Amino acid sequence: MQYVSTRGQSDPLSFTKAVATGLAPDGGLYVPMDLPDLRPFLKDWEGLGYADLCEEFFKLFATDLDPVVLKQCVRDAYLDFSHPDTAPLKTLEKGLHVLELFHGPTLAFKDFALQLLGNLYEAQIQRTGNPINVLGATSGDTGAAAIHGLLGKEGVNIFILYPRGGVSALQERQMTCTRADNVYAIGIDGTFDDAQNSIKEVFGDLEFRHSAHLSAVNSINLARVLAQCVYYIYAFFRLPEEERENLTFVVPTGNFGNVLAGWWTQKMGLPVKGFHIATNQNDILYRLFTTGKYEVHSVHPSSAPSMDIQIASNFERFLYFHEGQDPARVREIMSQFRDSGQYTFADFNRDTFSASRATDADIQAHIRDIHEQYGYVLDPHTACGFQNLPESGTRVVLGTADPAKFPETIELSIGEHPKSPRLEELKAIEPCSYVLEPDPESVKKFIHEHITS
């Protein structure tokens, strides 16, 4: 299978080359040239465990990767997940479930993709002999998951930018308390969008990108989205057959990658009715899917910090398919959005999608209500999914993080202070972090100094 840029001005690449490249040279994002039809495989896949399902799914996409290497990458990715089901489906009542995606090493859904991506990078180094320097930005969970996916891997350095004061204290400790020599957690005075914009400019300097052996770990990397597709298929198979019709996945999202993965599985033939996009008060996606207007506002810090985003990186992949896989239209729309900070779609199709926005007060109310009604504790991001839930059919809310990562909000909501042994261990470790201005020249200088020292 070949992968093309959403902007159509870069050569098609194989899976391994697209993963290694990250951001396309023309500034676009890699997507499959054509999405495969999953329907011939679904019956055979239904009884598979998580790792086996992931391996079978990736065989359709990683066609240039040695099957033996793929199997090992996938198997190793999920060894450190604490639940035997890897992604257990928790039933609150008939027709309402939470898909728990927080049993990985950093207690967040990003582990599903980033444990695998780390193994793919390691296999690439072994195959080519070339080192890799991984660069990414995070609004909270991506950084920790990316770092832990690359800990101890030879030939890899990882540089993660995050907004100082814009992630939870425990999220920051997960990035800064690794004691690993190949990890550089870099705080910036700015927002996630500032960090992401700087990184895109760094990747836009093709000479520097090649000389520094840069690769991307953010959801701009193709493998991230593909790995997240798997848990939608897995969840579908764990539902009783009578609940598989009229199914809506409720997806807390800020960067659009999580819901894009689900939408791709629908386009590939998984029989899903729709997707409910749950945002916090930074609601660019809510506004888009209710008005057709994509417009940047200021970022307002919230109690669901991983969604404190205004520019959704993966929206461009959605746009590519929404516009009939027409890269010229994508370039036109993205250019207008870059110049004006907004774009209005005259014929935006919202049939598959609904959306909601939750304030901090809403988040606390949902944590309290769900705890009182079901004895179940939500993290603040998952709580956004309970705002204006679809009233009919089967609802599967994606549980994106362990509530122990956000103890202050949980305590404010229900008077309990959740803890996790993995997180408690971090409190005894001295953090190691760096501080940079969020501009591409500062980032390039920092990377150059640390990979040559």
Is pTM, for the whole model, over 0.75?
A: yes
Angstrom distance (rounded) from CA 378 to CA 366: 8
Fold adopted by 89-106+223-421: Rossmann fold (3.40.50)
Torsion, CA 169, CA 356, CA 253, CA 283, rounded to 10: -70
* Rounded (10°) angle between helices 327-340 and 315-322: 140
DSSP conformation letters of 134-194: EEEE-SSHHHHHHHHHHTT-TTEEEEEEEETTSS-HHHHHHHH----TTEEEEEESS-HHH
Q: Which pair of structure tokens corresponds to residue 369?
A: 């209500």
- Selecting among 59, 94, 110, 273, the annotated active-site residue is 110
The pLDDT tens digits of the residues spanning 375-425 come to 999 999 999 999 999 999 999 999 999 999 999 999 999 999 999 998 999
**Above 90 in pLDDT, residue 452?**
no
Q: How many CB atoms lie within 10 A of CB 327?
A: 18
**Above 80 in pLDDT, residue 453?**
no
**Above 90 in pLDDT, residue 200?**
no
Domain ranges within the chain, ordered by starting residue = 89-106+223-421
Predicted local confidence at residue 445, as pLDDT? 96
Residue found under tokens 């998580």: 50
* Mean pLDDT of the region 205-227: 90
Paired with 184 in beta bridges are 159
Above pLDDT 70, what percent of the chain? Answer: 100
Predicted local confidence at residue 349, as pLDDT? 67
Asked if residue 426 lies in contact with residue 172, where contact means CB atoms within 8 angstroms, the answer is no
* 110 counts as catalytic: yes
* Mean pLDDT of the region 121-134: 92
Paired with 453 in beta bridges are none
Asked if residue 313 lies in contact with residue 196, where contact means CB atoms within 8 angstroms, the answer is yes
* pLDDT averaged over every residue in the chain: 93
The pLDDT tens digits of the residues spanning 33-80 come to 999 999 999 999 999 999 999 999 999 999 999 999 999 999 999 999
* Mean pLDDT of the region 309-313: 82
**Above 80 in pLDDT, residue 277?**
yes
